[in-house]
Amino acid sequence: MRYIAHQTKNQIRIVCLSTSLANAQDLGEWIGATPHTIFNFHPSVRPVPLEIHIQSYSIPHFASLMMAMAKPIYVAITNYSSDRPAIVFVPSRRQCRLTAVDLLTFCAADGTTDRFLHAHASDIENHLKHVNDKALAETLQHGVGFYHEALDKRIVEELFESGAIQVVVASRDTCWGINLNCHMVIVMGTQFFKGKEHRYADYPIGWNFNAILNFESNQIFFTKRICIINITRLYKV
């Protein structure tokens, strides 16, 4: 649009509407808007208010960091979303399965193995017969599913939307395409492994964070949403 305006020598007026953004100023500069014409509202004034909590960790070893985050995530779900749906975003497909197993391990330690299951085992038995991944079938039996690009996500989506399972652990790459309603979103770490460079890199803020923070819930069911971000360093938000 700016190119057309430059070529035609005519000013073009652009009106852009969006949810709350972390990089509204950058987006405004990109479309040529001046600072006094950019209005970015706080997440608390959204149609469904968003409450954000940031927890920082100082553990440099990635595997140890993931293990250290598991118990606080379990505690957060039980405290803030004890009987309401929650989604946990993790850095990789492998971590989906590991985190799902960790959550169920903490449930067993508390003596509530089926804490996140809100249906009778017989009600979901037919669904589990169509699950090819044995680890996924096992976690679904206890109310936790995991969700990434290599899986047939249909069954997990159906069980989660119906309220049979309470928790879904999803890979970071699914944040743009996942279509599930929840009360709580947890970001488990803000780094991922870049295979080509053989190193761990930070999430691009304008990519994953915007998708996750703008992850809308259904207003009919939720009057407030909670987002917990676990980071290894303090970001300027």
Provide the pLDDT for residue 219.
46
Mean pLDDT rounded to a whole number for the chain: 83
Token pair, residue 73, equals 């995530």
Whole-number CA gyration radius for the chain: 20
- The answer to whether residue 158 sits within a structural domain is yes
Q: What is the distance between the alpha carbons of residues 170 and 16, in angstroms, rounded to a whole number?
A: 30
DSSP 50: E
Assess whether 23 and 54 both reside in one domain: no
Phi-psi region of 192 (alpha: psi -120 to 50; beta: other; left: phi over 0): beta
166 — pLDDT class (breaks 50, 70, 90): very high
Assess whether 9 and 103 both reside in one domain: no
- The answer to whether residue 87 sits within a structural domain is yes
Assess whether 117 and 182 both reside in one domain: yes
**Which is more confident, 15 or 2?**
15
17 is in which domain, residue-wise? 1-41
Assess whether 119 and 221 both reside in one domain: yes
3-state helix, strand and coil shares in percent for the chain, rounded to the nearest 5: 40, 20, 45
Count: domains in the chain: 2
Q: What is the distance between the alpha carbons of residues 169 and 146, in angstroms, rounded to a whole number?
A: 4
The mean per-residue pLDDT over the stretch 128-134 comes to: 91
- The answer to whether residue 237 sits within a structural domain is no
Is the pLDDT confidence value at 174 over 80? yes
218 backbone dihedrals φ, ψ, rounded to 5°: -80, 120
Is the pLDDT confidence value at 222 over 60? no
Assess whether 35 and 81 both reside in one domain: no
Q: At what angle do helices 93-109 and 62-80 cross, to 10 degrees?
A: 50
Assess whether 127 and 220 both reside in one domain: yes
Which pTM was predicted? 0.77
Q: Which residues pair with 167 in a beta bridge?
A: 86, 144
- CATH number for the domain spanning 60: value is 3.40.50.300
Q: Which of 60-69, 108-117, 206-215 has the lowest mean pLDDT?
A: 206-215
60 — pLDDT class (breaks 50, 70, 90): confident
Is the pLDDT confidence value at 235 over 50? no
Let me know: does 221 contact 181? Beta carbons within 8 Å. yes
The mean per-residue pLDDT over the stretch 94-107 comes to: 95
Tens of pLDDT, residue by residue over 115-129, are 999 999 899 999 999
Q: At what angle do helices 121-128 and 154-161 cross, to 10 degrees?
A: 160
Q: What is the distance between the alpha carbons of residues 115 and 206, in angstroms, rounded to a whole number?
A: 35
48 backbone dihedrals φ, ψ, rounded to 5°: -115, 100
Q: What is the distance between the alpha carbons of residues 155 and 177, in angstroms, rounded to a whole number?
A: 16
- The answer to whether residue 212 sits within a structural domain is yes
Assess whether 105 and 134 both reside in one domain: yes
Assess whether 16 and 79 both reside in one domain: no
- The answer to whether residue 165 sits within a structural domain is yes
Per mean pLDDT, which of 56-65, 216-225, 226-235 is the most reliable? 56-65
Q: Which residues pair with 200 in a beta bridge?
A: 193
- The answer to whether residue 236 sits within a structural domain is no
The mean per-residue pLDDT over the stretch 208-215 comes to: 57
Assess whether 6 and 54 both reside in one domain: no
Assess whether 134 and 203 both reside in one domain: yes
